[in-house]
Structure 1
Protein backbone atom coordinates (compact mmCIF):
# COMPACT_ATOMS: atom_id res chain seq x y z
CA UNK A 1 0.00 0.00 0.00
CA UNK A 2 1.26 3.46 -0.93
CA UNK A 3 0.35 6.58 1.03
CA UNK A 4 0.08 9.98 -0.65
CA UNK A 5 -0.21 13.48 0.88
CA UNK A 6 0.06 12.11 4.43
CA UNK A 7 -0.99 15.42 5.94
CA UNK A 8 -4.49 14.86 4.59
CA UNK A 9 -6.95 14.90 7.48
CA UNK A 10 -8.20 11.53 8.66
CA UNK A 11 -11.60 13.18 8.86
CA UNK A 12 -11.94 12.64 5.11
CA UNK A 13 -11.82 8.86 5.54
CA UNK A 14 -14.36 9.09 8.34
CA UNK A 15 -16.54 11.20 6.08
CA UNK A 16 -16.28 8.59 3.33
CA UNK A 17 -17.46 5.85 5.68
CA UNK A 18 -20.27 7.95 7.12
CA UNK A 19 -23.81 6.96 6.19
CA UNK A 20 -25.02 10.55 5.91
CA UNK A 21 -25.65 12.03 2.47
CA UNK A 22 -22.41 13.90 1.80
CA UNK A 23 -21.34 14.94 -1.66
CA UNK A 24 -18.50 12.44 -1.95
CA UNK A 25 -17.81 13.13 -5.60
CA UNK A 26 -17.20 16.87 -5.44
CA UNK A 27 -13.42 16.61 -5.74
CA UNK A 28 -13.30 14.11 -8.57
CA UNK A 29 -16.02 15.73 -10.68
CA UNK A 30 -15.05 19.37 -10.33
CA UNK A 31 -12.76 19.43 -13.35
CA UNK A 32 -15.17 17.33 -15.40
CA UNK A 33 -17.97 19.80 -14.68
CA UNK A 34 -15.75 22.73 -15.61
CA UNK A 35 -15.26 21.28 -19.10
CA UNK A 36 -18.91 20.29 -19.60
CA UNK A 37 -21.48 22.54 -21.24
CA UNK A 38 -24.90 22.85 -19.57
CA UNK A 39 -28.11 21.90 -21.36
CA UNK A 40 -31.05 24.24 -21.98
CA UNK A 41 -32.05 23.84 -18.32
CA UNK A 42 -28.53 24.82 -17.20
CA UNK A 43 -27.87 21.27 -15.99
CA UNK A 44 -24.50 19.64 -16.55
CA UNK A 45 -24.36 15.89 -17.17
CA UNK A 46 -21.18 13.84 -16.96
CA UNK A 47 -20.87 10.46 -18.66
CA UNK A 48 -18.81 8.09 -16.52
CA UNK A 49 -19.96 4.86 -18.16
CA UNK A 50 -16.36 4.00 -19.03
CA UNK A 51 -15.38 4.02 -15.33
CA UNK A 52 -16.22 0.82 -13.47
CA UNK A 53 -17.66 0.87 -9.96
CA UNK A 54 -14.49 -0.74 -8.62
CA UNK A 55 -12.32 1.91 -10.28
CA UNK A 56 -14.51 4.69 -8.95
CA UNK A 57 -14.40 3.33 -5.41
CA UNK A 58 -10.60 3.09 -5.51
CA UNK A 59 -10.31 6.66 -6.82
CA UNK A 60 -12.66 7.97 -4.13
CA UNK A 61 -10.69 6.22 -1.37
CA UNK A 62 -7.50 7.68 -2.81
CA UNK A 63 -8.95 11.19 -2.82
CA UNK A 64 -10.29 10.99 0.72
CA UNK A 65 -7.50 9.00 2.34
CA UNK A 66 -4.45 9.47 0.15
CA UNK A 67 -3.85 5.71 -0.03
CA UNK A 68 -3.63 3.30 -2.94
CA UNK A 69 -2.95 -0.43 -2.82
CA UNK A 70 -1.77 -2.55 -5.75
CA UNK A 71 -2.59 -5.75 -3.87
CA UNK A 72 -4.90 -8.03 -5.81
CA UNK A 73 -5.04 -5.82 -8.91
CA UNK A 74 -4.11 -7.29 -12.27
CA UNK A 75 -1.95 -5.30 -14.66
CA UNK A 76 -4.71 -4.48 -17.13
CA UNK A 77 -6.79 -2.98 -14.32
CA UNK A 78 -3.82 -0.94 -13.10
CA UNK A 79 -3.30 0.43 -16.61
CA UNK A 80 -6.95 1.40 -16.96
CA UNK A 81 -7.09 3.06 -13.55
CA UNK A 82 -3.95 5.02 -14.47
CA UNK A 83 -5.88 6.47 -17.42
CA UNK A 84 -8.82 7.27 -15.14
CA UNK A 85 -6.49 8.99 -12.67
CA UNK A 86 -5.11 11.23 -15.41
CA UNK A 87 -8.61 11.91 -16.71
CA UNK A 88 -9.56 13.25 -13.28
CA UNK A 89 -6.35 15.28 -13.02
CA UNK A 90 -4.90 13.09 -10.27
CA UNK A 91 -1.37 13.61 -11.53
CA UNK A 92 0.44 12.13 -8.53
CA UNK A 93 -1.44 8.84 -8.71
CA UNK A 94 -1.21 8.73 -12.50
CA UNK A 95 2.56 9.22 -12.50
CA UNK A 96 3.03 6.65 -9.73
CA UNK A 97 1.12 4.00 -11.71
CA UNK A 98 2.85 4.98 -14.94
CA UNK A 99 6.28 4.50 -13.34
CA UNK A 100 5.19 1.20 -11.82
CA UNK A 101 4.07 -0.14 -15.21
CA UNK A 102 7.25 0.90 -17.02
CA UNK A 103 9.65 -0.31 -14.35
CA UNK A 104 7.85 -3.43 -13.13
CA UNK A 105 5.50 -4.55 -15.91
CA UNK A 106 7.37 -3.79 -19.13
CA UNK A 107 6.84 -7.32 -20.45
CA UNK A 108 3.06 -6.92 -20.13
CA UNK A 109 3.23 -3.54 -21.88
CA UNK A 110 5.12 -5.10 -24.79
CA UNK A 111 2.64 -7.97 -25.01
CA UNK A 112 -0.26 -5.50 -25.31
CA UNK A 113 1.72 -2.85 -27.13
CA UNK A 114 -0.81 -1.78 -29.78
CA UNK A 115 -3.52 -1.24 -27.17
CA UNK A 116 -1.15 0.66 -24.87
CA UNK A 117 0.05 2.89 -27.70
CA UNK A 118 -3.47 3.68 -28.86
CA UNK A 119 -4.85 4.35 -25.37
CA UNK A 120 -2.04 6.65 -24.23
CA UNK A 121 -2.37 8.90 -27.27
CA UNK A 122 -6.15 8.73 -27.33
CA UNK A 123 -6.29 10.24 -23.86
CA UNK A 124 -3.15 12.28 -24.63
CA UNK A 125 -1.90 11.58 -21.12
CA UNK A 126 0.83 9.44 -19.59
CA UNK A 127 3.62 11.33 -21.34
CA UNK A 128 6.38 9.09 -20.00
CA UNK A 129 4.57 6.02 -21.28
CA UNK A 130 4.05 7.73 -24.64
CA UNK A 131 7.79 8.29 -24.92
CA UNK A 132 8.45 4.69 -23.87
CA UNK A 133 6.17 3.53 -26.68
CA UNK A 134 7.76 5.83 -29.25
CA UNK A 135 11.26 4.57 -28.45
CA UNK A 136 10.08 1.02 -29.18
CA UNK A 137 7.94 1.73 -32.22
CA UNK A 138 10.65 3.71 -34.01
CA UNK A 139 12.70 0.51 -34.18
CA UNK A 140 9.79 -1.80 -34.89
CA UNK A 141 6.92 0.29 -36.33
CA UNK A 142 5.08 -2.84 -37.46
CA UNK A 143 4.05 -3.33 -33.83
CA UNK A 144 1.51 -0.58 -34.44
CA UNK A 145 1.13 -0.38 -38.20
CA UNK A 146 0.41 -4.10 -38.65
CA UNK A 147 -1.82 -4.41 -35.61
CA UNK A 148 -5.58 -4.87 -35.76
CA UNK A 149 -5.96 -1.58 -33.89
CA UNK A 150 -3.97 0.44 -36.43
CA UNK A 151 -6.89 2.05 -38.25
CA UNK A 152 -8.42 3.14 -34.95
CA UNK A 153 -5.38 4.87 -33.47
CA UNK A 154 -5.86 8.63 -32.99
CA UNK A 155 -4.28 11.11 -35.38
CA UNK A 156 -1.76 12.41 -32.84
CA UNK A 157 -0.45 8.87 -32.32
CA UNK A 158 0.00 8.37 -36.06
CA UNK A 159 1.76 11.71 -36.49
CA UNK A 160 4.07 11.06 -33.54
CA UNK A 161 5.22 7.97 -35.42
CA UNK A 162 5.56 9.17 -39.02
CA UNK A 163 7.27 12.44 -38.09
CA UNK A 164 10.27 10.57 -36.70
CA UNK A 165 13.30 10.88 -38.98
CA UNK A 166 14.77 7.72 -37.44
CA UNK A 167 11.75 5.53 -38.21
CA UNK A 168 12.95 2.16 -39.52
CA UNK A 169 10.59 1.87 -42.49
CA UNK A 170 10.64 2.69 -46.20
CA UNK A 171 8.81 5.90 -46.98
CA UNK A 172 6.51 4.27 -49.51
CA UNK A 173 5.30 1.87 -46.82
CA UNK A 174 4.57 4.84 -44.57
CA UNK A 175 2.59 6.42 -47.42
CA UNK A 176 0.57 3.24 -47.94
CA UNK A 177 -0.22 2.95 -44.24
CA UNK A 178 -1.36 6.57 -44.10
CA UNK A 179 -3.67 6.05 -47.07
CA UNK A 180 -5.05 2.91 -45.42
CA UNK A 181 -5.68 4.82 -42.18
CA UNK A 182 -7.35 7.74 -43.97
CA UNK A 183 -9.68 5.52 -45.97
CA UNK A 184 -10.62 3.56 -42.85
CA UNK A 185 -11.65 6.82 -41.20
CA UNK A 186 -14.20 7.29 -44.00
CA UNK A 187 -16.18 4.04 -44.39
CA UNK A 188 -18.20 5.55 -47.23
CA UNK A 189 -15.18 5.57 -49.56
CA UNK A 190 -15.20 2.77 -52.13
CA UNK A 191 -12.39 0.22 -52.18
CA UNK A 192 -12.27 0.78 -55.96
CA UNK A 193 -10.36 4.00 -56.59
CA UNK A 194 -11.80 4.26 -60.11
CA UNK A 195 -15.22 4.88 -58.58
CA UNK A 196 -14.08 7.87 -56.56
CA UNK A 197 -15.53 11.30 -57.24
CA UNK A 198 -13.66 14.59 -56.71
CA UNK A 199 -15.60 14.89 -53.45
CA UNK A 200 -14.21 11.53 -52.30
CA UNK A 201 -10.65 12.70 -52.88
CA UNK A 202 -11.42 15.92 -51.02
CA UNK A 203 -12.74 13.90 -48.09
CA UNK A 204 -9.50 11.91 -47.91
CA UNK A 205 -7.42 15.06 -48.31
CA UNK A 206 -9.15 16.72 -45.36
CA UNK A 207 -8.73 13.60 -43.24
CA UNK A 208 -5.00 13.43 -43.98
CA UNK A 209 -4.23 17.15 -44.02
CA UNK A 210 -2.10 16.93 -40.86
CA UNK A 211 -0.35 13.71 -41.91
CA UNK A 212 0.65 14.44 -45.51
CA UNK A 213 3.25 17.13 -44.66
CA UNK A 214 5.27 14.51 -42.78
CA UNK A 215 5.80 12.28 -45.81
CA UNK A 216 9.34 12.49 -47.23
CA UNK A 217 8.40 12.31 -50.90
CA UNK A 218 12.00 12.74 -52.03
CA UNK A 219 12.78 9.35 -50.50
CA UNK A 220 10.19 7.55 -52.63
CA UNK A 221 11.38 5.99 -55.88
CA UNK A 222 10.00 7.09 -59.25
CA UNK A 223 8.29 3.74 -59.76
CA UNK A 224 6.59 3.92 -56.37
CA UNK A 225 5.49 7.49 -57.06
CA UNK A 226 3.81 6.32 -60.27
CA UNK A 227 2.28 3.16 -58.82
CA UNK A 228 1.30 4.28 -55.32
CA UNK A 229 1.27 8.07 -55.02
CA UNK A 230 0.07 9.29 -58.41
CA UNK A 231 -3.35 7.59 -58.13
CA UNK A 232 -4.00 9.98 -55.21
CA UNK A 233 -2.58 13.08 -56.88
CA UNK A 234 -5.82 14.97 -56.27
CA UNK A 235 -5.07 15.10 -52.55
CA UNK A 236 -1.57 16.46 -53.19
CA UNK A 237 -1.36 18.65 -56.28
CA UNK A 238 -2.45 21.92 -54.70
CA UNK A 239 0.09 21.48 -51.91
CA UNK A 240 3.08 19.83 -53.52
CA UNK A 241 2.63 20.67 -57.19
CA UNK A 242 1.71 18.33 -60.05
CA UNK A 243 2.82 14.69 -59.92
Structure 2
Protein backbone atom coordinates (compact mmCIF):
# COMPACT_ATOMS: atom_id res chain seq x y z
CA UNK A 1 0.00 0.00 0.00
CA UNK A 2 1.50 3.36 -0.98
CA UNK A 3 2.12 5.98 1.67
CA UNK A 4 0.38 9.29 0.99
CA UNK A 5 1.66 12.67 2.09
CA UNK A 6 -1.12 14.96 0.91
CA UNK A 7 -0.87 17.46 3.77
CA UNK A 8 2.82 18.17 3.01
CA UNK A 9 2.08 18.35 -0.71
CA UNK A 10 -0.76 20.77 -0.05
CA UNK A 11 1.49 22.89 2.15
CA UNK A 12 4.20 22.96 -0.54
CA UNK A 13 1.74 24.14 -3.19
CA UNK A 14 0.47 26.92 -0.90
CA UNK A 15 4.10 27.97 -0.42
CA UNK A 16 4.52 27.97 -4.21
CA UNK A 17 1.53 30.29 -4.49
CA UNK A 18 3.18 32.73 -2.06
CA UNK A 19 6.55 32.58 -3.85
CA UNK A 20 7.10 35.59 -6.11
CA UNK A 21 9.96 34.10 -8.08
CA UNK A 22 8.74 31.40 -10.46
CA UNK A 23 5.28 32.51 -11.59
CA UNK A 24 4.32 32.73 -15.27
CA UNK A 25 0.76 34.02 -15.05
CA UNK A 26 -0.88 36.98 -13.36
CA UNK A 27 -4.55 37.15 -12.52
CA UNK A 28 -6.07 40.56 -11.85
CA UNK A 29 -9.25 40.34 -9.82
CA UNK A 30 -11.79 42.87 -8.60
CA UNK A 31 -12.85 46.31 -9.72
CA UNK A 32 -11.38 49.72 -8.90
CA UNK A 33 -10.54 50.63 -6.22
CA UNK A 34 -10.50 47.03 -4.89
CA UNK A 35 -8.10 45.28 -7.31
CA UNK A 36 -5.39 42.73 -6.58
CA UNK A 37 -2.97 40.89 -8.84
CA UNK A 38 -2.15 37.29 -8.00
CA UNK A 39 1.03 35.65 -9.28
CA UNK A 40 0.22 32.12 -10.35
CA UNK A 41 1.42 29.16 -12.38
CA UNK A 42 -0.14 28.22 -15.69
CA UNK A 43 0.28 24.45 -15.29
CA UNK A 44 -1.53 24.37 -11.96
CA UNK A 45 -4.34 26.62 -13.19
CA UNK A 46 -4.87 24.56 -16.32
CA UNK A 47 -5.20 21.29 -14.45
CA UNK A 48 -7.41 22.62 -11.67
CA UNK A 49 -9.86 24.83 -13.57
CA UNK A 50 -11.37 24.13 -16.99
CA UNK A 51 -12.34 27.81 -17.26
CA UNK A 52 -8.79 28.99 -16.63
CA UNK A 53 -7.45 26.37 -19.05
CA UNK A 54 -9.60 27.83 -21.82
CA UNK A 55 -8.72 31.40 -20.84
CA UNK A 56 -5.01 30.61 -20.88
CA UNK A 57 -5.22 28.73 -24.17
CA UNK A 58 -6.78 31.75 -25.84
CA UNK A 59 -4.17 34.21 -24.51
CA UNK A 60 -1.06 35.02 -26.45
CA UNK A 61 2.13 35.43 -24.45
CA UNK A 62 2.95 39.08 -24.09
CA UNK A 63 6.38 40.45 -24.84
CA UNK A 64 7.07 41.64 -21.28
CA UNK A 65 8.75 38.80 -19.37
CA UNK A 66 6.66 36.18 -21.18
CA UNK A 67 3.84 36.56 -18.67
CA UNK A 68 0.22 35.76 -19.40
CA UNK A 69 -2.34 38.09 -17.82
CA UNK A 70 -5.96 37.23 -17.05
CA UNK A 71 -8.53 39.68 -15.73
CA UNK A 72 -11.46 38.53 -13.57
CA UNK A 73 -13.27 41.70 -12.57
CA UNK A 74 -16.40 39.83 -11.40
CA UNK A 75 -14.60 38.16 -8.45
CA UNK A 76 -13.42 40.16 -5.44
CA UNK A 77 -9.81 39.79 -4.24
CA UNK A 78 -11.01 38.41 -0.89
CA UNK A 79 -13.10 35.69 -2.51
CA UNK A 80 -10.41 34.89 -5.08
CA UNK A 81 -7.87 34.45 -2.26
CA UNK A 82 -10.08 31.66 -0.87
CA UNK A 83 -10.50 30.13 -4.33
CA UNK A 84 -6.81 30.26 -5.29
CA UNK A 85 -5.81 28.61 -2.01
CA UNK A 86 -8.29 25.86 -2.83
CA UNK A 87 -6.88 25.54 -6.36
CA UNK A 88 -3.31 25.23 -5.07
CA UNK A 89 -3.71 23.43 -1.77
CA UNK A 90 -7.03 21.65 -1.98
CA UNK A 91 -8.11 23.48 1.18
CA UNK A 92 -11.32 25.47 1.38
CA UNK A 93 -11.15 27.74 4.41
CA UNK A 94 -14.51 29.31 5.24
CA UNK A 95 -14.46 29.31 9.05
CA UNK A 96 -14.10 33.08 9.43
CA UNK A 97 -16.41 33.92 6.52
CA UNK A 98 -20.03 34.94 6.73
CA UNK A 99 -22.87 33.30 4.81
CA UNK A 100 -22.79 35.82 1.96
CA UNK A 101 -19.09 35.06 1.39
CA UNK A 102 -19.87 31.36 1.21
CA UNK A 103 -22.31 32.06 -1.62
CA UNK A 104 -19.77 34.31 -3.35
CA UNK A 105 -17.22 31.48 -3.18
CA UNK A 106 -19.75 29.11 -4.75
CA UNK A 107 -20.53 31.66 -7.47
CA UNK A 108 -16.81 32.07 -8.24
CA UNK A 109 -16.37 28.29 -8.20
CA UNK A 110 -19.18 28.04 -10.74
CA UNK A 111 -17.53 30.63 -13.02
CA UNK A 112 -14.19 28.81 -12.80
CA UNK A 113 -15.86 25.38 -13.27
CA UNK A 114 -14.57 24.00 -9.97
CA UNK A 115 -17.15 21.22 -9.87
CA UNK A 116 -15.51 19.43 -6.95
CA UNK A 117 -16.70 22.23 -4.63
CA UNK A 118 -20.31 21.41 -5.42
CA UNK A 119 -19.98 17.89 -4.07
CA UNK A 120 -19.05 18.95 -0.50
Give 4+ residue runs of structure 1 displaced > 6 Å after superposition.
Answer: none
**Relative to total residues, which structure has the larger helix share, 1 or 2?**
1
**What CA deviation, in whole Å up to 9, does each residue of 1:126-180 have, x standing for no partner?**
xxxxxxxxxxxxxxxxxxxxxxxxxxxxxxxxxxxxxxxxxxxxxxxxxxxxxxx
- What does residue 32 of structure 1 align with? 55
Which of 75, 85, 92 in structure 2 is aligned with 1:68?
A: 92
Q: 1:20 to 1:82 in 2, by over 3 A?
A: same
CA distance in 1, matches of 2:22, 2:71: 22
Deviation at 1:49, TM superposition (A): 0.5
Unaligned runs of 5+ in 1: 1-5, 39-43, 97-243
Deviation at 1:46, TM superposition (A): 4.5
Q: 1:83 to 1:25 in 2, by over 3 A?
A: farther
Deviation at 1:65, TM superposition (A): 1.0
Deviation at 1:75, TM superposition (A): 1.1
Q: 1:45 to 1:13 in 2, by over 3 A?
A: closer
Q: TM-score, normalised by structure 1?
A: 0.30
**What CA deviation, in whole Å up to 9, does each residue of 1:200-223 have, x standing for no partner?**
xxxxxxxxxxxxxxxxxxxxxxxx
Deviation at 1:85, TM superposition (A): 0.8
Counterpart mapping for 1:135-150 below 5 A:
none
- What does residue 57 of structure 1 align with? 81
Q: TM-score, normalised by structure 2?
A: 0.56
Counterpart mapping for 1:122-161 below 5 A:
none
